Amino acid sequence: MRRRHFLGTTAALGGLGLLAACAPGSDSDGGDASAPAAEEVETDIASLGEVTLTVWDQEVRGAQNDAIEALIEAFEKEYPNVTVDRVSQSFDDLQQQTGLALSGNDVPDVLQVNNARGDMGTYVADSLLTDLTGYAEAYGWTDRFAPSVLSKMMYSADGVTFGEGSLYGLPQTGEICGIYYSQKKLDDLGLEAPTTWDELFSLVEAAQEAGEQPIMLGNLDQWPALHVFGPLQAHFVPAEEIVTLGMGNAGADWTSQENVDALAQLAEWGTSGAMGDSPNGLAYDDAWPLYAEGTGVLLIGGSWLAPDMEAVMGEDLRFMAPPPGADGTVATTGGTGIPFSIPAAAENKDVAAAYIDFLTSDEAMQLIADNGGMPVNRTAELAPDSGVNKDVYEAFDAVSTDGTLLPYLDYATPSFADTAGATLQEVIGGQTEPEAAAEALQEDYGEFTEGT
């Protein structure tokens, strides 16, 4: 998966009709969004009689589709009284249908809902999603999932506070931004993989002095810079503050000296040529193939790139989580696959919860790994024996269990993807000074948090 502008702006796709009909926080005829108490949850699905469970998902890629199909087959075998009516479609198509479906009369029982403010946050505010707190207690989801993972699906009932409150979805897969490196190039330069940020900065300088491009970045599309800046920011700014900024919650400030220092370091990399002669003129999908073919020592980016680059680089490709950040623990940008939610008007909520529980069980994690995906749980345990995916799995496990999985920064406000993308592009290109960039980011964040 490539994280693009849809993380912050998909209300423009899926929610236009919904927002026109139902203002945030208003009453809705969509159904009961309140959570059943754990003792009220029916987990004996076989006792519910014949049920057709309608499921909408966007798991359409090869490995994703194979895993879901296998899990559905196993679920129906476990519960012969349940027939799963699956409707699969692309992410964009699902987004376009979600707002109308949730506020209409033909509502699925299970639906994948993007967890950004423009989607899940809006639907929570409009009481169109079921609070899953009781189901989480009944099925032990809070024991199964790390708090930093669950927080990405949590909102206050009014949709204002992101990362705290009640649970509105559950994911199957994980993703993380980290540092890819070529082992051969490090060996040729007489260098080792960095264990601290100071070592990483020294590595960049040494590679540049040796005539190598230290960091590959294709930022024509603007959003890729967020995947570089997020991990870098954690070196300067405490993780808790980044979480507040990234979740769009009040209480932090982009103009702090630490954030300005992080922007200054990004500017230095951009203007010094450390990221190439024209990183803002190179497209994302042109950059990583160039890296795989030998241009660049490091590539700071998402775990989803690993399989395609490994197909070219083989064992030379390695991956690591960034070094420990400002508060002494590992923190980096990351998240989950699109969570599975239960609409407030779903007809078969208890069966829907059992289905979600099945999709996220320990056995499901094994099946997802067997099909080439990265499960959100048991990642270190299920890591391949070798190769870059072993590195990726172990890095995600370390960050999600012992560190902080930072939110994608474009979660923050409905417009922050555009604001941050354009601002960071100008910082890299030298058109905007770090202090001015911080002011621009603060203006968007501040206007939103003051108005919520």
Q: What are phi and psi of 375, to 5 degrees?
A: -65, 150
**pLDDT grade, residue 100 (50/70/90)?**
confident
Q: What is the pLDDT of residue 58?
A: 87
346 with 109: CB under 8 angstroms? yes
147, pLDDT greater than 60: yes
Q: Name the more confident of 225 and 27.
A: 225
List pLDDT tens digits, range 239-285: 999 999 999 999 999 999 999 999 999 999 999 999 999 999 999 99
Work out the average pLDDT over 177-187. Answer: 98
Residue 227 has pLDDT above 50, yes or no: yes
Q: What percent of the chain has pLDDT over 90?
A: 77
What's the pLDDT at 31?
62
- Confidence bin at 371 (pLDDT 50/70/90): confident
Position with higher pLDDT, 405 vs 3: 405
Asked whether the beta carbons of 161 and 145 are under 8 A apart, the reply is: no
Residue-averaged pLDDT of the chain = 90
Neighbours of 447 (CB within 10 A): 12
**Up-side HSE of residue 70: CA atoms within 13 Å toward CB?**
15
Q: What is the pLDDT of residue 452?
A: 67
Q: How far apart are CA 294 and CA 217, in angstroms?
A: 13
pLDDT digits 0-9 by tens, 39-75: 999 999 999 999 999 999 988 877 778 889 999 999 9
Closest CA to 419 of 394, 438, 395: 438
As a whole number, mean pLDDT of residues 217-237 equals 97
pLDDT tier for residue 1 given thresholds of 50, 70 and 90? very low
pTM beyond 0.85:
no
| Structure confidence at residue 60 (pLDDT) | 80
Q: Which domains does the chain have, with CATH numbers?
A: 8-173+337-378 (3.40.190.10), 175-334+407-451 (3.40.190.10)
Residues in the chain, total: 452
